[in-house]
A and B are shown apart, each in its own frame.
Chain A
Amino acid sequence: MADPHSIIRVQSLVKHYQVGDDTVRALDDVSFGIAAGEMVAITGPSGSGKSTLMHVLGCLDQADSGNYFLAGEDVAGLSSDRLAEIRNRRIGFVFQTFNLLPRMTALENVELPLLYAGRRNAKGPAAEALEKVGLKDRMHHTPSQLSGGQRQRVAIARALVTNPAMILADEPTGNLDTRMGGEILRLMSELNAEGRTILIVTHEPEIAQHCPRQIFLRNGKVVPETIRRGADSGPAPSP
C-alpha cells in the first residue's frame, strides 16, 4: 500500500457534521491516492464535500475516521503543533480570497512561512519565490497596492517558499477575471511541469479540465475516477 511515489493516500475517510438535529455526511468513505508530480482537480457541485476534503487534506481539520497518509506519514490523530509543522513544511496553500496579511508587504508575506519554520535568512528565498511568480519589482508593495492577479501570485509564492510536497489551491481563480485566472492556471501548470504536485479544488468544469486528472465528489462520495491525459478540451464527463 505504501507506494514510494504516493504523496497522498486516503482510505475510507468519514466526516460528519451536525446541522441542527440532522447529521450530514460530508465525507462518506472516501479513498484515493495521488502520486508525486501529479496535477489533480478535486471537483463536484457545491455541497459535495470538496471543501471538507480540502480541509482534511490540508491538515486544517481532521476526519472522524479513516486513514490519511501524507508523504508516507499517518496524519490522523497528530497533535495540533505537529499538524502546524506539517502545514508549514509539506503543504502550500492558495486560497480563493488570497488571504494575504494586509499590513505586510509582499516580501514579508512570503517570508512568514519561513519564519514560522524557524529559518534565519528568510529574505533571500522569499525574494526568489517572488521572482519566480514574476513579481520581483513589486516585492515592497502591500496587498492593497496590487491587483487581484498579482495578489494571487504573491500567495503562490508564499505557498512555494517552503518547498512543500504539494500545493493545495482552493478555487484559486474564483475571485479573478478570465484572463487573470488563465494566467494563474498557466503558472500552476508550469510549477507542475517542474515536478510539483498540485491539487486544485474547484466547482468549475473548465478549471477542472485544465488538470490531467480529476476526482469527482458527489454527496461525500468519490464518483469512479476518470483519468485523462493531456489538456483535452470538451465538456466534463458526467459522473
Chain B
Amino acid sequence: MLFWIIVKVGVKSLWANKLRSFLAMLGMIIGVGAVIAMLALGAGAKKQVLSQIATMGTNLLVISPAQSGSQGVISGTRQNLTVADARALRGVPGVARVAPVASGGAQVKAHNRNKPTRVTGTTGTYLGIRAFKIAQGRNMSDSECETMARIAVIGPNVATDLFGMEDPVGQKIKVKGITFTVIGVTEAKGDQGWFNPDDQVLIPYTTAMKQLFGQDYLKEADVQAEEGSDLKQVQAEITKALRARHRLLEGEDDDFYVRNQADFIAMATAFTATFTLLLGGVAGISLLVGGIGIMNIMLVSVAERTREIGIRKAIGATEGSIRMQFLLETMIISGLGGLLGVAFGIFSAWLFPILFKYIQPDMAFQTSVEPFSILLALGVSVGVGIFFGWYPARRAASLPPVEALRYE
C-alpha cells in the first residue's frame, strides 16, 4: 500500500519536472542503447564468422607457418612452408587431398574496368577442399597448375564487377601486367563479412609464386582428411611428418600451426568475445556517466524538497520511508530510461547495417540483439539507479526534521 503511494508520489514529482527528468533519463537511454547496439554488433560479427567457418569445407585442416619472434613479441610470419612440404603431406596417413595456397592482394583489370581483389594461387583440388562449386566453365587441371598456365577461375563478384552481364568464360583479365584467360566461375557462397569467398581470383600456384608474387614459400596448405577419420589423429600425424621435414629437435616448438574447424571456431569466438567486450566496455562507460547524471539531479531534487521532507517527517515518515521514496524515484528514472534505451538500442542495431550498406555497398555486416543483452542492460540500469540513488536518498533521510521544516 505505502509502496504504491510512494511510487505514485515519485511519478508525480518526476512529471512535475518533465524536462529535468527526461534529461536525467537521457543518460540512461543513451547508455543502455549503446550497450545493446554494441553487444548486437559483437553478436552479429560472431554469427557471421561462425557461418563463414561452417562453409569452409568439411574435414578441413589448415597448415600455416607459425609466427616468428621471441618471448611473446611477434615480429612477423615465418617463411618455412614449402611446396615440397605440401606434396609430402599427401603421403601422411588419413590425408585425402592437399592444396597449396599462396595468395596476395592485387588489381585485376579487364576491358577498361579494374577491381582490387584477392588472388589465390593454388591447385584444382582447392575448390573441392573448400567446398566451392563451378557455376560456369571448368576447374583448373593438375597439369595446368604444374606448368604455370595463365588461366583463372574467378569468383562471381569479380565476374559481375569486371564483365557485368557478359559471359566471362574465355575472356582475358590482367593481373600485374600478366594476362590470364578465364576458364571458370565459382558458385556464390554468400558474403561473410570479414572475408568474401566470392570476391577472389584463383590461379595456378606455380604462376602465382613465380610470376606474380615472387614468393618461395606458401601462405598455407589446405588438407582434407579422409571421410570418417579422426581429425585429432590426422593432425598429430601431420605434425609428426612436418616436424621431421623441418628437422625440429625434441623439445623445440612447432614452427607451424595445424588447425581444424573447431580451432577456427575457438579462435573466432575468442576474437569476437574480445571485440564484444571492448565495444560493451566503451558503452558501459556511457552508462556510468548516465548514472552520475541521475545522481546529480537527485541531489538537486533533495535540496529543493528539503521542506517537503521536513513535513513528511513531522507527520510520521521514518528515515526508511524517506530513503525508500528517493531511491524509488531514482529507480523509476533509471528503469524507465533503461526501457527506452532498450528500444533505442534495438532501433540502432537495426539501423546501423542499413546505413553502413549505404556508405559501403561492397561490405555487409549483421547485428543480432540477444535477449540476454536486453536483460543485462535492464538489470544494469536498475543497478545503476540503486547505486547512484543511494547517496541522495540517504542524505534526504538523515535531514534533521527541525532544520528541514525551517528551510525556505
**CB within 8 Å of B: which residues of A?**
55, 58, 60-61, 80-81, 84-85, 87-89, 93, 95, 99-101, 103-104, 112-113, 115-118, 120, 158, 162
Smallest CB-CB separation from A103: which chain B residue? B12
Q: Determine whether the beta carbon of B12 is less than 8 Å from that of A115.
A: no
Residues of A within 8 A of B315 (CB): 87-88, 93, 112-113, 116, 158
Compute how far the CA of A60 lies from the CA of B314 in the bound complex, rounded to whole angstroms: 7
Question: Of A84, A115, A162, which is within 8 A of B319 by CB?
Answer: A84
Distance (whole angstroms) from the CB of B343 to the closest CB of chain A = 29
Question: Of A55, A84, A100, A117, which is within 8 A of B402 by CB?
Answer: A55
Q: Determine whether the beta carbon of A103 is less than 8 Å from that of B317.
A: no
Residues of A within 8 A of B314 (CB): 58, 60, 87, 93, 95, 99
The answer to whether B1 has its CB under 8 Å from any CB of chain A is yes
Number of B residues near A (Cβ < 8 Å) is 25
The answer to whether B16 has its CB under 8 Å from any CB of chain A is yes
Smallest CB-CB separation from B315: which chain A residue? A113
The answer to whether B370 has its CB under 8 Å from any CB of chain A is no
Smallest CB-CB separation from B8: which chain A residue? A108
Distance (whole angstroms) from the CB of B6 to the closest CB of chain A = 9
Q: Determine whether the beta carbon of A60 is less than 8 Å from that of B308.
A: no
Question: Of B308, B316, B319, which is within 8 A of A89 by CB?
Answer: B316
Question: Please, what's the 1-or-0 string for B156-171, where 1 marks a CB less than 8 Å from any CB in chain A?
Answer: 0000000000000000
Question: Please, what's the 1-or-0 string for B1-20, where 1 marks a CB less than 8 Å from any CB in chain A?
Answer: 11001000100110010000
Residues of B within 8 A of A99 (CB): 307, 310-311, 314, 405
Compute how far the CA of A190 lies from the CA of B198 in the bound complex, rounded to whole angstroms: 95
The answer to whether B211 has its CB under 8 Å from any CB of chain A is no
Compute how far the CA of A60 lies from the CA of B321 in the bound complex, rounded to whole angstroms: 17
The answer to whether B353 has its CB under 8 Å from any CB of chain A is no
| 5 A/B residue pairs, CB under 8 Å, sorted by A | A60-B402, A84-B317, A101-B308, A101-B311, A113-B316
Q: With A81-B319, A89-B316 in contact, is A61–B402 under 8 Å at CB?
A: yes
Q: With A103-B12, A103-B16 in contact, is A84–B313 under 8 Å at CB?
A: yes
Question: Of A87, A101, A104, A158, which is within 8 A of B313 by CB?
Answer: A87
Residues of A within 8 A of B400 (CB): 61
The answer to whether B137 has its CB under 8 Å from any CB of chain A is no
A-B contact sample (14 more), CB < 8 A, given A81-B319, A118-B1: A60-B313, A61-B400, A80-B319, A84-B317, A84-B318, A84-B319, A95-B405, A99-B307, A99-B314, A103-B13, A103-B16, A115-B2, A116-B312, A116-B317
Q: Determine whether the beta carbon of A116 is less than 8 Å from that of B16.
A: no
